[in-house]
Structure 1
Amino acid sequence: MNVTISGHHLEVTPSLREYVLTKLDRVTRHFDQVVDITVLLSVEKQKEKERRQKAEVNVHVKGKDIFVETAHEDLYAAIDQLMDKLDRQVCRHKDRVQDHHHDSLKRQDSAWDAAQ
């Protein structure tokens, strides 16, 4: 798994990098077929009173790319919200991938005939 953490108008400190990596462990624990993860942390200075911290992640899994972004006044809170959203999307993708194993029509018909 390839993890890239970068900052835009922001220096990514070792403590911030470690925080993101510990949060990403939850996602990789649910779904182990992750190929590549790119995290971008940025600061938008639209107004000085309203500094918005923005976090976005792009996860490349087998067959699909998952993109999530959040914004908050606190960067750590933005990362928490980001990982919650990402966790839900990864679990939903995992359920969709695993849900394609249905019984064949022959087995359904024979089971239906046996029931009658």
Structure 2
Amino acid sequence: MSIAITSQVVELTNAIRARIESRFDKLNRRNIVLINPHVVIQKEGLNYLVEAKAGVPNDTLFAQAEHEDLYAAINELGHKLERQLSRYAEKPLAQRTTATATPADATEEK
């Protein structure tokens, strides 16, 4: 999986890239395809702000984390994405399709 990583403040070293890729590898355990994952690293004051956006079928995951330590921010971001992905994976397929059904369809069944 190729992950787009951008940063204007921090030089992207192999260690930073490896940490981000390892966090996204943990997301692949759910066997859900991540579409165009993108990570942005910024620095606001003394803290690092790390944002990630990845598409999943019929939805988009977005998370951001802020911490003084870049690696801690990346770990926190990974945890947030894991929680979102597990909620997405555990949501029943029927619940996803009935949310888009019109109320008229629901009343006709009675």
Give the TM-score of the pair, scaled to structure 1: 0.75
Encode CA deviations 1:43-94: one digit per residue, 9 max, x unaligned. Answer: 113xxxxx01111100111111111001001010001110001000001011
Q: In the alignment, what sits opposite 2:53?
A: 58
Give the TM-score of the pair, scaled to structure 2: 0.79
CA contact (8 A) 2:54 2:60 kept: yes
Q: In the alignment, what sits opposite 2:100?
A: none
Encode CA deviations 1:89-109: one digit per residue, 9 max, x unaligned. Answer: 00101111x4428xxxxxxxx
> C-alpha distance in 2, partners of 1:29/1:4?
20
> C-alpha distance in 1, partners of 2:66/2:58?
27
CA contact (8 A) 2:33 2:56 kept: yes
The alignment covers a number of residue pairs equal to 95
Q: In the alignment, what sits opposite 1:108?
A: none
> C-alpha distance in 2, partners of 1:10/1:2?
20
- Over 6 Å off, 4+ runs: none
Structure 1: 5+ residue runs without aligned partners? Answer: 46-50, 102-116
